[in-house]
Structure 1
């Protein structure tokens, strides 16, 4: 904010050099703030997903470097400090940024899986690949939904992406569910992504009432299918719990515990 005030006063006084220096420093700091927000949002989003195909960008690391550059440049070009003192200011700004916000962690590691967790997947790498690809398709659905002009379709596609996200979280909690949801992940989800992307292109260039009604019917069917898939996974979890309770009760009776 002091830089913004100084830029306004330099404009008033007609000092072009000072106006340029203060404006550059102010804009660089604004960019650093925007990148920091983007990096925090990215971290919060990816923290919810053990498996993610989304590429991670080093937003906070870049923001810290830009902030250090802005601080050093401001000290040198605006305040008139020497190059050595400006460098010290830059290092101090970078250190303060690291202590307050931290830098981006290393490449996100996929969760470690036990060989028996995915009996139908064959290999852990295959299981991770299936989930990572599914998350990429969910991201694509969300982006397509945001770009749709039709509010009803936008809301329906957003709900579908939300349900699929819940299904993926359920699979992460119980890896055995991957076998039961394999057809849904390998057939229905890619088909939904492809049809939604194609409709978005035709909506922008060749709108049609018949195509709009067909797409509406398809979205309703897909949303119902997603609900049914989620319900089947949840029902299986309940059945597994009932079996475990019966086994435990039988063992307790065998040990003479009532």
Structure 2
């Protein structure tokens, strides 16, 4: 089979120096969904050789199965996004469950004939069971939400949704420039911004420090992208392109630095909490455990000792610590 030649200097080629975007998470079972619709194609083909009643039931059966496939695919996408995050809420709508019910209903409607209601119902129930075995259940529990204020989490969700709208606006605007390299460059920045989104979602307490990045800066980036795309589509101004790429580089650096600072701030908070707990234990008369580097050598090197001597040395070391 012929293969189109392409290289670094081919038209539309991407610069290898630009890191490639990760893309949205994909569920490993998502490719199976298409076979559900393919299996229902006989309903569509055979409908035109049926009487009016058979025509309607076959077309309705195929349409309901196709709708069930769509719901199942959306459920798998939601599950993939749920699994990719350490902190996530369960999907508000169990799409895979509804997809299985619609698939069973579609097969039952397509197979239904006058006087054969029991057989059609049995086919539908079997289809629902097989759908559940093939794709599994929807996530039904929140993940990593212990100790997080629901009101604060809802507030973060609204601001993140607003930030996603700005990122989608950037994607739509840069397409007008007609340059694949610039589209890839913007996508890399979008992935960097979404890393900050994930950090704030995992710890809503970081919202105050990151809110300007999620709102004002992304709005400015979207507006700048729209103006640049309109200018570049008309003039192909290389100096404007260089300035825009420099802007993206600065934005990526700032967003990545903010994400790192939030992570380091979380480490600092952990150290403070650990010191406070140690102070409280010390006031209660509980001595902190010595680090491994400061323990007696007798407790570290125990090779060549029998069980009796090992127990004796362990008891002596415990008495010394008391």
Question: What interval of TM-score do these two structures reach, taking the shorter chain for normalisation?
Answer: 0.5 to 0.7
**Separation in structure 2 between the aligned mates of residue 234 and residue 193 of structure 1, nearest angstrom:** 26
Q: Secondary structure at the match of 1:176?
A: helix
1:41 corresponds in structure 2 to 77
2:298 corresponds in structure 1 to none
Q: Secondary structure at the match of 2:50?
A: helix
After TM superposition, the structure 1 = structure 2 runs for residues 34-113 of structure 1, keeping only pairs within 5 Å, are 34-46=70-82, 48=85, 59-60=95-96, 62-76=98-112, 80=113, 82=115, 84-85=117-118, 87-89=120-122, 91-93=124-126, 95-96=128-129, 99-100=132-133, 101=135
The answer to whether the 8 A contact 2:105-2:124 is kept is no
1:202 corresponds in structure 2 to 230
1:121 corresponds in structure 2 to none
Residue 137 (structure 1) aligned to one of 125, 149, 163: 163
* 1:111-131 per-position Cα deviation (integer Å, ceiling 9, x unaligned): 57666xxxxxxxx64663244
Task: Quote the RMSD (CA, aligned, Å).
Answer: 4.6
Q: Aligned pair in 2 of structure 1 residues 173, 17: CA closer, same or farther (>3 Å)?
A: closer
Residue 242 (structure 2) aligned to one of 195, 199, 213: 213
1:168 corresponds in structure 2 to 197
Q: CA deviation at 1:153?
A: 2.8
Q: Aligned pair in 2 of structure 1 residues 214, 173: CA closer, same or farther (>3 Å)?
A: same
How many residues matched? 240
Which runs of 5 or more structure 2 residues have no equivalent in the other structure? Answer: 1-37, 291-322
Q: Aligned pair in 2 of structure 1 residues 231, 114: CA closer, same or farther (>3 Å)?
A: closer
Residue 263 (structure 2) aligned to one of 227, 231, 234: 234
Which structure is higher in helix share?
A: 1
Q: Aligned pair in 2 of structure 1 residues 140, 45: CA closer, same or farther (>3 Å)?
A: farther
1:128 corresponds in structure 2 to 154
Q: CA deviation at 1:39?
A: 1.7
The answer to whether the 8 A contact 2:166-2:218 is kept is no
Q: Secondary structure at the match of 1:181?
A: helix
Q: CA deviation at 1:225?
A: 0.9
The answer to whether the 8 A contact 2:75-2:96 is kept is yes
Q: CA deviation at 1:212?
A: 3.3
2:216 corresponds in structure 1 to 187
Which runs of 5 or more structure 1 residues have no equivalent in the other structure? Answer: 116-123
2:320 corresponds in structure 1 to none
Which of the pair has more CA radius of gyration?
A: 2
**TM-score in terms of structure 2 length:** 0.54
Q: Aligned pair in 2 of structure 1 residues 199, 61: CA closer, same or farther (>3 Å)?
A: farther
